[in-house]
A and B are shown apart, each in its own frame.
Chain A
């Protein structure tokens, strides 16, 4: 197997075979809540994962990469989304350091990186930064859209027909709006469609969008690129190479450990291949510190090269200059003021917020055999004394001035022949003297497994885990260079929540509500009869709003519809 890996993936994997039609191709369909944003606002997005041969919704890769590129093709925002189902959603807060102009959102999976970047999914959005020089914005006299009092409905379809009906066409402020959606195929049969819905101020929406929503198709059969990327079927695949720091030679066939600094031990072991290459699967959300080191502490002279997560470069067109529609200047100015009011009041209102916090991670070894909570005992002088007096099945030995820990095996009350895996806040740490010098007041607990433990096929003769109160390794320092880096497998999740004015107390609240996006629901599904409905509340701001519904059917047909509403 190792030999085959060394020969390169294209030679031995069926996915890279010469039988082109057998190649699996993925595609992404990217949607946004609107087209024009003011910096500081959030871009709400939905991605559908598709089988590119037929554009049917599919659920193969579990990670979707989203980048916002400026007009020079430089990424100014990057997200990694965990998408365990056929579609997923995200919110991206636009930095207020961005200049006004057109930007390109592109979305892809790791597997799609094997093919030309022009087959990624794209959407152009425009940004206005009212706090910076706006000379880069051109002014167009072309009328892009007109506000209307007739509240028309516009629809385009690629096989999925959508129909929108609202309980009224005009509404008051802080009033409930009820909308029904019906999805049918071209024969009029009901369809169980997967949809997204957004309701925004009409001036922030491009009327031409209805013509560009069609799904992107891969540009024909292409040979995969020279660097094969794996599909990511669980979490983010962290790959790289471990090399000797002096000779730059790969550290081949060596067990290496990936660990994450924190109160829970989350270690993985991987045996590098002949070229020193390794792969780990990561599923943590938010930025955390990872440590990669050889399992054998004797190998200390090394460095690690990680492969980039995101695609580098582009072979697709970049967004052109941004022309502001003069007929919308007044409305846009209104939207800019709204954004600033919203920024002040949003924090006082239960609105857009982070998704539910992640469940606490458990140690890779599950429940320990022995758990010593330091606060449960009389405060002893130091860790050495704690081990001697309280911690069962563990003893300290000193040889040639260096301390080591040994574990009494749980079967015949003899000590194991080899030293145990010693962890400090989840990270393997070999310098026992430093561990024994951790201030007793900083230590929270000690956990012991006095049995052989197998992790990814590698055996440890016992585990001792020291967990500090802060979970940050108590300032311990390795006696050799290690690979330690902040890393986010998945970006933090966020979900849209608008205020609910269902009760009088909330409806009469003095908190101002000037949302430019009234509603965003990325996960709406029509039922067996093709119908579904949703409701939302208008804000304090009057004017034209546009309801946009986009989606896809199980057989890969897409549909789009928008309808204007008037709040007065």
Chain B
């Protein structure tokens, strides 16, 4: 009861995937009996960046109970989650987990997370763990990626950080890189040329669309690029 206000905030509400109401009720019963403990309390303790540093690789920058996570088809809302973009770890913070008067933060086991959503400054970001076949042509390793669009091709964003030393202090340089996964191949999207290469089967039409809408691929935000890919999906289905 040391943190009553926070406790109120982190009490999560849950919702279930679309099913019949009676199935939902049974699923809730099942979860309550089979997994009665906090499902996010599964993993090892998270080591904070204690050493002097200029920045940490954690997103979002403010820890608020605004994230959601899906575990075993059940969605938990208003939880406190951070994503460590350097270690590719999902960090769970719950002031209820007090041990020796210390709040423990946990790296949630990646294999139980179906997806999680964070409120970033750029808007809401939905992450999923993607595993790539060993023989797949591509640039990416297995890990969590923001999933922006899953139409005729998959549009993902890799949030990562690089460790650097600046003025004798550690600094984590945070970057995002955009990728399209199409027909099993991974394309890094830097500008118009790489986008048209990824969407080569409809390149002429997509190029016309970019001209018409005056979208600059290099500087476009994810919503603008998502609209381009929605247009591409429409072309594929027409």
Contacts and interface: CB of A to CB of B under 8 A. Distances in A.
Interface of A: 1, 5, 9, 13-15, 22-24, 51, 60, 111, 230-231, 233-234, 237, 269-271, 279-281, 362, 364-366, 410-411, 417, 449, 451-459
A281 B106 CA distance: 23
B34 A14 contact: no
Interface stretch (B7-15, B37-45, B173-181): B37-45
Interface of B: 20-23, 25-27, 29-30, 32-38, 41-45, 47, 50, 72-73, 97, 99-100, 104, 106, 109-111
Contacts, number: 90
A237 B34 contact: yes
Contacts of B104: 452, 454, 459
B30 A231 contact: yes
Nearest to B22: A24
A407 B87 CA distance: 24
Contacts of B110: 366
A5 B42 CA distance: 24
B32 A234 contact: no
A233 B27 contact: yes
A320 B46 CA distance: 65
Nearest to A5: B33
A279 B99 contact: no
11 contacts: A13-B26, A15-B29, A22-B22, A24-B20, A51-B20, A60-B23, A111-B26, A366-B111, A410-B47, A454-B41, A457-B36
Interface majority SS (helix, strand, loop, mixed), chain A: mixed
Nearest to B46: A451
Contact of A230 (B21, B25, B33): B33
Given A452-B104, A457-B41, A271 B36 contact: yes
A449 B109 CA distance: 14
B35 A13 contact: no
B34 A230 contact: yes
Contacts of B97: 454
B102 to A, nearest CB: 10
Contacts of A366: 109-111
Contacts of A365: 44
Contact of B45 (A111, A231, A279, A451): A451
Contacts of B38: 457
Nearest to B104: A452
A233 B29 CA distance: 11
B37 A456 contact: yes
Contacts of A23: 22
A14 B25 contact: yes
A188 B141 CA distance: 49
The 9 nearest A-B residue pairs measured at CB: A457-B37, A14-B25, A24-B22, A452-B45, A454-B41, A451-B45, A451-B44, A457-B41, A15-B26
